[in-house]
Structure 1
């Protein structure tokens, strides 16, 4: 029987992909991992490259639809709720009690998840299986890029020039970006982490 391990990810900046700027490490019960698998409850720490905790994400056990919470110093700052749909992948993102974004992925083989506000303006984008910078040499797990947009094209250097600019309605605040990272962790567990192990880095494109 395959043993489900705790998920771990490296976080890298597209401008300097050689060295991780942070890590995401899951903490969960070994028995729950084997029995509940992708529905297991867990906490994941997001740390900088030195191991200092920045924030956490917490995902309780779920049956029909999943939720994941972003927390700083034990205080909940935001949440992502997955909304049930027969084939589409729909997620609602909240900061406190106020919804600031929705993701309505068409499903099937589309692995681009675009965050939009109530008026349909793009706020950020998460792509799965993005290939670049030779990361396929590091692991055979899935790759992700989180694009926050509003990049100054003139400041791009090296491999970062290959990333197409993302036009956004407004830049996300830091707390909203933490919720977006929580969404990325939830997406990986909802659709891709069937057996656990080391995931490939989230690629954060900064301004």
Structure 2
């Protein structure tokens, strides 16, 4: 499995689906996961029902599979259909490493919890920076952030293919935390930016 502790930054690029440009139909999401220098480390793909993508939209039940170039699994994230708050379970190496829970309230917030459902941190987006989600430690210091990047007028206007950057500002963060942060980029895309084009 890829050791993410070697990378201070990951870039997640959602693949453009040609069908979505010309039709109102939502297709399964696909992503590339890259280093800051542009080397592809992994790719991710969504598994969900075609009917649920059309009618349940961003609330649909789904699974996200992240695999290395040779197809070796890195992480599996899944959730059930929901009405108000999503709960994305995250597994790696055949074990539960945690989950991402959408927090009810003002603003955009996700709670990162460990395998025992204890909160590790929250990703919070500020009122004046709605595309930046910051994770702080117990003392209030930043440990990581996820930022939705501007992809250009054409891409933003005609597709829902987004680019996210995950930055680890605390170099001591372990691999499980980094995998949860990688999964948080998918959760942020699905919960807050899906179907907004």
* TM-score category, normalised to shorter length: 0.7 to 0.9
Q: More strand per residue: 1 or 2?
A: 2
Tell me by how many angstroms 1:119 deviates: 1.8
Q: Mapping of 1:12-31 within 5 angstroms?
A: 12-15=34-37, 17=38, 19-31=39-51
Shift of 1:109: 5.1
Question: For the residues of structure 2 that align with 1:8 and 1:195, how far apart are their CA atoms?
Answer: 17
TM-aligned CA distance change 1:117 to 1:130, over 3 Å? farther
Q: Is the 8 A contact 2:123 2:145 kept in 1?
A: no
TM-score by length of 2: 0.77
Q: Which runs of 5 or more structure 1 residues have no equivalent in the other structure?
A: 150-167, 197-207
Secondary structure class of the residue paired with 1:31: helix
CA contact (8 A) 1:44 1:56 kept: yes
Q: Are residue 93 (structure 1) and residue 94 (structure 2) matched? A: no
What residue is the counterpart of 1:188 in the other structure? Answer: 189
The higher-RCO structure (CA 8 Å, 6+ apart) is 1
Partner Cα separation in structure 1 for residue 189 and residue 76 of structure 2 = 16
Do structure 1's residue 62 and structure 2's residue 82 form an aligned pair?
yes
Indicate the residue corresponding to 2:173 in structure 1: 172
Could you tell me which residue of structure 2 aligns to residue 144 of structure 1? 164
Q: CA deviation at 1:67?
A: 1.4
| CA positional deviation for 1:112 | 0.7
User: How many Å separate the matches in 2 of 1:195 and 1:100?
Assistant: 29
Deviation at 1:22, TM superposition (A): 0.6
Q: Is the 8 A contact 2:28 2:48 kept in 1?
A: yes
The answer on whether the counterparts of 1:123 and 1:171 sit within 8 Å (CA) in structure 2 is: no
TM-score (norm 1): 0.74
Mapped contact 1:77–1:96 kept (Cα < 8 A): yes
Which stretches of structure 1, 4 residues or longer, exceed 4 Å deviation after superposition? none
Q: Does 1:4 align with 2:23?
A: no
> Does the CA-based 8 Å contact 1:69-1:182 persist in structure 2?
no
CA distance in 2, matches of 1:195, 1:30: 19
| Distance across 2 between alignment mates of 1:82 and 1:173 | 23
The separation in 1 between residues aligned to 2:96 and 2:45, in whole angstroms, is: 19
Deviations 1:80-132 (A, max 9, x none): 1111113x11211111222211122124652111111222121111110156x
What do you get for the CA RMSD once the two structures are aligned?
2.4
